[in-house]
Amino acid sequence: MRENKGMVYLVGAGPGDPGLITVKGLECVKAADVVIYDRLAGPGLLAHRRPDARCIYVGKKPDRHTLKQAEINKLLVEEASRGQIVARLKGGDPFVFGRGGEEAEELARQNIPFEIVPGVTSAVAVPAYAGIPVTHRDHASTLAVITGNEDPEKDGSGIQWAKIATGAGTLVFLMGMGNLPAISSKLMEHGRPPETPVALIRWGTRPQQRTLVGTLDNIAGLAAQAGLKNPAIIVVGEVVKLRDRLRWFENKPLFGKRVLVTRSREQASALSRSIQRLGGEPVEFPTISISDPGDYAPMDSAIGQLAKYHWIIFTSVNGVRYFFNRLRHLERDIRDLRGIRIGAIGPQTQKALLELALRVDYVPGEYRAEEIVAGLRDKIEPGQRVLLPRADIARQALPEGLVKLGAVVDEVTAYRTVTGRGDTPLVAEQLARDDIDLITFTSSSTVRNFVELLGGHKVPAITGRALVACIGPVTGQTALELGLPVHVQAREYTIDGLVKAILTYIKEN
């Protein structure tokens, strides 16, 4: 039984790239009953919360607060007092201009248990993603991190400008874009040379990262001309010159691209990881969800008579997972597959079977039903029985083709594909604003449900300038039939093939 008072974890979420949260920080998110997050905590981290966890947004901008700090402090106390485990996600590190110290003080005053989980500060990580090391033996041996929110012209400044200006090799100002002209003037006024290199980095470590380089005497004008605003950091010092040689993040092939992933939440991770690795930002919008079959009786009956089958052909990883889960549920095991030949459609399905120590007798070179049947022509003899455990809405081309070969086919529903529960209003808004660069479809059902969720006939208009990428011709044909353009179609009908096709298209266009 949980005690009356819960627990608050003040978690540094890192600078934006969800991969930069610490292992302990991610564990806190996964364990939390409530996630209280701010504007700079990467949205991808929320996908790791428990399905029943509540999310509360308390984001703040320099000029506008959703909740004032005192209200956030009160919220943390209230939630913990109700016995909740609270993950307070704060951008960067909670104690580096994150006001985490104030929140911790209030929790201590109210005798609320809390822990501090340090995070990767943007003061170091954001310049690194822009190719700027904040220290370097040849350029800077000292580093100062300074708030950019304080008006340099106010009386009683907490910043000792005369010492800061020349007292450290590299100066990093956080959230200082509103004060950039005054910051530049103060530094020059107190001895920093006007030609000192300066970099402004907006939305650092994210695919929309933008970097502007100038010098102290012209950076304010360049920023105004470019319309560069917060959230951004200001890096001042000779280390900025290294950016031309060390920039790496912006050179990735999908840098700056926001990619909609419509696979089920259980399957999205592989594609999302590939997108992130290539510099893009995956936006997970699961238009399908995988569920138990409405009735297990047909599959249970087939499992009870496995000895009569000559072949079992698995068409997906989900089919493998649900079939063998049911096999275990019925207190059977892989010894009951003795003498049965096994087919796997696609390398991931083959991999799932190999992980169960099952040798696969047939993997087609191409994953369309028509090609699969052609490959089995010399392997399946007339009268042999074939078991197909697969989705409830799968195409009929495969069983029909096997019947033409003379096989006796038992098709059983191993799992159902149902409409997913993605954040439709948010995605519709992103598409309408042209904030999505690429929409990926990995099956016909992802296309159909996407159209259904986003309003049918309105979809072509809603998709805006976004490119559409399909995993193969069947999926592509479904997209065309529903009024969607198809810009990219993979020749190899796998996630790797889809990613390769996307990269080829971007390179050529």
End-to-end CA distance of the chain: 60
30 is catalytic: no
175 is catalytic: yes
Catalytic residue among 7, 175, 177, 299: 175
d(CA 96, CA 401): 64
- Sorted by sequence, the CB contacts under 8 Å of residue 349 that are 6+ apart come out as 314, 315, 316, 317, 319, 320
1 is catalytic: no
3-class SS of residue 171: strand
Strand boundaries in 192-330, DSSP class E: 197-202, 210-215, 232-236, 258-261, 281-284, 288-291, 311-314
- Sorted by sequence, the CB contacts under 8 Å of residue 325 that are 6+ apart come out as none
Q: Name the burial class of residue 332, with classes exposed (0-12), middle (13-18) and buried (19+) by CB atoms within 10 angstroms of its CB.
A: middle
* Amino acid at position 88, single letter: R
Catalytic residue among 5, 60, 229, 241: 60
* C-beta contacts of 295-303 below 8 A and 24+ residues apart: 295/413, 296/326, 298/412, 298/413, 299/323, 299/326, 299/389, 299/412, 299/413, 299/414, 300/326, 300/330, 302/387, 302/389, 302/410, 302/412, 303/327, 303/330, 303/332, 303/336
Catalytic residue among 17, 38, 410, 437: 38
- Sorted by sequence, the CB contacts under 8 Å of residue 78 that are 6+ apart come out as none
Compute the Cα dihedral for 121, 123, 128, 130 and give only its sign: positive
Q: Which residues are catalytic?
A: 38, 60, 175
